[in-house]
Each structure stands twice: as C-alpha cells, then as structure tokens.
Amino acid sequence: MSTSIGTDVNTMKWLIKREFWEHKGGFFWAPVVVAIVMAVFLAVAIAGTAYVGSQGVVTYNVESIDGGVAQPKTVKVLTPEKIKEVGEQLSVQIAHAYMGISAPLLAVFYLAVVFFCLGALYDERKNRSILFWKSLPISDAATVVSKVVTAIVLAPVLTFCVATILALVVVVVACTTSMLMGFNMFSEVLGAASFYFAPLQIAALLPVYVLWALPSVGLLLMIGALAPSKPFLWAVGTPLVTGVFLAMTNSIFQFGWNLSWYWRDIVGRGFLSVMPGSWFAMNPLDSHFSPTANVVDMAPLFSQSWQQLATANLWIGVVVGSAMIYAAIRVRRWKDEG
Amino acid sequence: MVDTNLTDFIIDAKNLTKRYGKSVAVDNISFQIPAGRIVGLIGPNGSGKTTTLKAMLGLVPFEGELKVLGLDPRTQRDELMKQVSFIADVAVLPRWIRVREAIDFVAGVHPKFDRAKAERYIQNTKLKPAMKVKEMSKGMIVQLHLALVMAIDAKLLVLDEPTLGLDILYRKQFYQNLLEDYFDENKTIIVTTHQVEEIEHILSDLMFIREGKITLSASMDEIAERFIEVMVSADNLAAALALKPIDERQVFGKSVMLFDTATSNSSADAVKALGEARAPGIADLFVATMRGTYA
C-alpha cells in the first residue's frame, strides 16, 4: 500500500504547513522579534562595556593643582596584559556556552507551545471551522497527530534555528569588539571544537525532548478538546484546585502525605514538560549536574539528557501522553458541537 | 421498496433515530436516495434536518441503520469523506486563512479537487489570492467556500443553507453553476434552504421533515401529479370545499385551493374541473403541510 502511505505523508505535510500558516506568529515571529531585541541589547552592552573599559578612568591629581586649575589624568585600567587574560577566559566560556545566550527564547517557546496546544482543538470548535476541516478527507487521527508534531518538532526546530543565529550574532559582536581592543578572540573561539559541537549536541536532544514533552502535549490538547469554554482557566484551575484540596485533606486528617510527588510528577509533568531541559529539574539523575553552573559544558548536558531514556519516569510519561493524545482524537471524532 | 443491494442507493436509512438526552431530534425515519438526484430537504428550524445531515456525514452518533455510498458514517467516515463533500454551515472557514492558502491546502489534501475550476470561480468574484477570510464580507466567505466545494468532484454533495448571506444575483448564479458545471447523473446533491422558491426548479426530489419525522418524500413529478392548486371560481366554492383542500388562500378576491389527491379521496380530474389548475409551488405546499407546527 505504498500509494496509501504516500497519501498519508502528503496529507501530513499539508496539515503541518497549515499549522505553520496559522501559528507563524507564535512559532516564528515571536522568537525572531525577541532575538532581534536581545541581539541589539547585548551588542550595545558589549560594545559599551568595552568602550568604557578602554577609555580608562579619569582621575584628578590633587597634587598637580596649580593656580586653581586641576589637571585631569587618565589611568588605563585595561592594560594589554589584562585584556589578554580576560580575553582568553572569555574565549573558553564563549566557545563552550555561547548557546546559553539564547536561553531566554525558551520562555517565549514555552508560552507559544502551551497556548498552541490549548487552542489547537478548542479554537476550531469555538469558531466552527472544525466543520470545514471535517469536510475534507482527513482523519481525526492525522489532524491531531499533525498538531502534536507541530508542537514538539516544528516549533522547537524553529526556535533552535533562531536561537543558534542569535547566539552566533552575539559571538561575532563580542569577538569583533575584542579584536578592536587588541585581542583576537576569533581564533580562540573558532579554534575550539566545542564551538562546533554545541549546536549539534543541542539539536541531538530533540528525540529526548519529544518523548519527554508527550504527556504535557497530550494533556493540553485533551483539555482544549474537552473544555466547554476558556481552556486556559481549566488548565490552570484544575491542578490548583486539586492541589489545594489534597493539601487541605492532608492537614485536616493528618494523613502525613508527602504531596511533592503531586506537584512534580502530576502537575509538573503535565504542564511543564514542554519546557526543553525540564527533565533536569523534574527527573534529576544521580550524578550532579546543573545547567546553570558558570561554565556549561555541553557534553554532559547531552549525555545526561539521553540517560533519561533509561528512566521509568520518561516512559510512563510517553504511555500516559500517548493515551491522552488518543483520547483527544476520539473526542474530536465524536464531540457534537450542536 | 423491494429488497435491493444497499449500494444501489447513495443514501439508505432504516429506522434512523437520534436522541439528545430525552428529546428526539430524528424519530425513526427511513428513506432512500438513488444516484443522480437533487434532493431538497425542507423543514422548519429544529425539525431535525441538520441532525439528519450530520448523521449522514458521520458527525454525530445515531441509532438505526444508515449507509451512505454503502458505507457506515460512524465507522467508515475517513473512507466516506473521499467521496462526499459538504457545506455544513455558513461562515465556517477559518478566519486566518488566505484565499491562496485555502486553495493550496484543499488541492494538497483532496485527490478530487480541480484547482483550475476553483480558480475560475474565484476570478468571477472580488476575491484576491492574498485576501484573508477575516477581511471578507459574509458574502465573499460563502463565495470562497462554494468555489472550493464546487471544484471537488464528489459523488455526494451536502449543502446546508449554502447561500445564506449572499445577495440575490449571486444566489441565482450559484444554482445555475451547480446545475451546469457541477451536477451530472453520477452525482447526488442534498440541499436545505429557507429560500425554497430559488431551488424548486432545480430539484428532482423533495423531502419535508417535521418534528423529526418525514412528512413527505416524493419526486417532483410525483408531487406535480399528487398536489394540485386550483383557482376556484365563486360558483364552485362549495363543491371545492367538499373535496377538503389542505390549504386555502385569497388572491385578488379569488380562492386558491391546494388539494392532495392522495388523501382527499378526490380524483385529479374532479379537482381540475373546479377551475384553473396548476402545480403548486413548494413554498405553498410547505406552508400547507407544516401548518400547526408553531401553534
């Protein structure tokens, strides 16, 4: 049945294209605009710091006051030796961790994906366009799967591309500035192997991310498919009310439950797993690694992420997430909008 | 009907029932629609016509038996939608989509979409390729939707109030196109509308539905034979009333009476002898048969 598979692939291509048309704003323009603002801000900050540093500090030599006229005297703080020392340190840090510059884009990404998932099966019911989509030969399964793929493959790939470009732009600005100050960071940075591996190691996290994010995407899609109105309130309200209820029951009856599992494994996995790297916080492995340490080394970030595949936490999430995606497909198939 | 192979009918419904909680929207109806017909499904609001259409399109679960193109819309919807096209409601196109994107998308996913045909329809309108649905008037949205649907070579086309919001010139144009460019003996069209007068000349069959039941189902030829409208002259008035007309109204001081020769135990000849006879309009027939619905 190669023709049937060919048709399915073709339909999926168009479904994803259609999601991109509709959500270009959140998945493409939002990170691009934030990246441009960040690039401008960082460029000004880098150039400004360098400029102030290179100008040295103006001091007034009190002893040289002669006839009431003070003679200003400039003291250079940044000696060539100092510049070289700072430059070498910076080069190492940049070569290893420059991708971290783009970390704020993850916040934009998280919000875009959460709102996309909540609206994906809600908005089409609200504006009745579901009747148009359902008038075409596209199964509910293909439709829902295309939304999953958009959320956890297309959107992260787009953000990754923007993030890489932003990081490179900032690296170029920093290195150019250093060159103007007499120290060539380009050769140091471009000579480091980690400079080239960093983006590849992040890109290679995509499969881990897809599996890790499934329960969140499934839950958010299902809320959107079921909510009679205001899916965002359902998404925020339900876990909060449940959590407060559990906490109150716990304290009234003195059950002595430890509710942290509820917040981490239910609420966290259900609503925060679409945040890339959230596995470090929600499913920490034995060896100590913190991505917020001063110098981020990409190699352990890569290997420790892949080690998630050996944890039950990840695979339980995959099973639960897939079940919720299946539920969302059934709901879309049969929910009567009157 | 004699026992026939199910696939001989485009639609074959047996004891079709749809309940919403305790209320019955479609009440145990049975009907068959052969290929090559244009069927008008006429009924007041809330009579169950949209629910019946939704059952056919696999949009709602139901009880009873229903085959569309030999397929069960509940379990074989994906297969069915390759052959069926519909406009279920007005203004359901997504607001963000551009004319160009809508055409690209349908061309991409529908194997039976004729892109050139859709573009030809659109050229006759004020629609531009870069235009978004949210920038369009209600009429333009309908024009785009119709252009997309008319370019799909489907065996069954279901139109639920397709021309609502269009001005009269475009409505006429639409039904003209439907008949000339779209319809052929292999296709079947089911249409509902409130503007009955505009479609009666294109219909081949008529189905009246009221409170979830089919009150009349016949071909237009059968209807022309069965129902007779007579402009009764004053001296025949008593004789006419004795034949139990199902409707009576006054036009220029004369009585126009509508007779159902199937129920008034009066022969067509007897009725025609009362005065100037002609086939009734669907609107008058509809009003006469629905009398009491809102009482």
Q: Residue written as tokens 């669907």?
A: B282
Give, for B32, the enclosing helix (H) or strand (E): strand B23-34
Q: Name the residue of chain B whose CA is nearest to A21's CA.
A: B97
Q: Name the residue of chain A whose CA is nearest to B88's CA.
A: A131
Residues of A in contact with B81 (CB under 8 A): 134-138
Could you tell me how many CB contacts below 8 A there are between chain A and chain B?
73
Are B106 and A18 in contact (CB < 8 Å)? Answer: no
Burial class of residue B159 (count of CB atoms within 10 Å of its CB; 0-12, 13-18, 19+) = buried
Query: Residue B4 pLDDT > 50, yes or no?
Result: no
**Closest in B61, B93, B108 to A14, CB measured:** B108
Backbone angles phi, psi at A135, to 5 degrees: -85, -5
CA distance B138 to B161: 13
Model pLDDT, residue A286? 64
Model pLDDT, residue B170? 80
Are B61 and A334 in contact (CB < 8 Å)? Answer: yes
Q: Quote the pTM value.
A: 0.88
Model pLDDT, residue B8? 75
Q: Is B95 on the interface with A (CB under 8 A)?
A: yes
Q: What is the pLDDT along chain A (338 residues), one digit of tens a residue?
A: 456 778 889 999 999 999 999 999 999 999 999 999 999 999 999 988 888 777 766 555 555 545 555 666 666 666 778 778 888 888 888 888 898 999 999 999 999 999 999 999 999 999 899 999 999 999 999 999 999 999 999 999 999 999 999 999 999 999 998 888 888 888 889 988 889 988 999 999 999 999 999 999 999 999 999 999 999 999 999 899 999 999 999 888 888 888 888 888 899 999 999 999 999 989 888 655 555 555 556 677 888 899 999 999 999 999 999 999 999 999 999 987 65
Q: Which of B182, B138, B193, B188 is nearest to B160 (CA)?
A: B193
Residues of A in contact with B77 (CB under 8 A): 139, 333
Model pLDDT, residue B129? 96
Q: Which two tokens stand for residue A138?
A: 């596209």
CA distance B76 to B87: 20
Residues of B in contact with A7 (CB under 8 A): 111
Q: What CA–CA distances, in Å, run from A207 to A99, A153, B1, B5, B271?
A: 19, 9, 59, 52, 80
Name, of A49-58, A323-332, B170-179, B258-267, the range with top average pLDDT: A323-332
Q: Which of A337, A136, A329, A123 is nearest to B54 (CA)?
A: A337
Q: Is A7 on the interface with B (CB under 8 A)?
A: yes
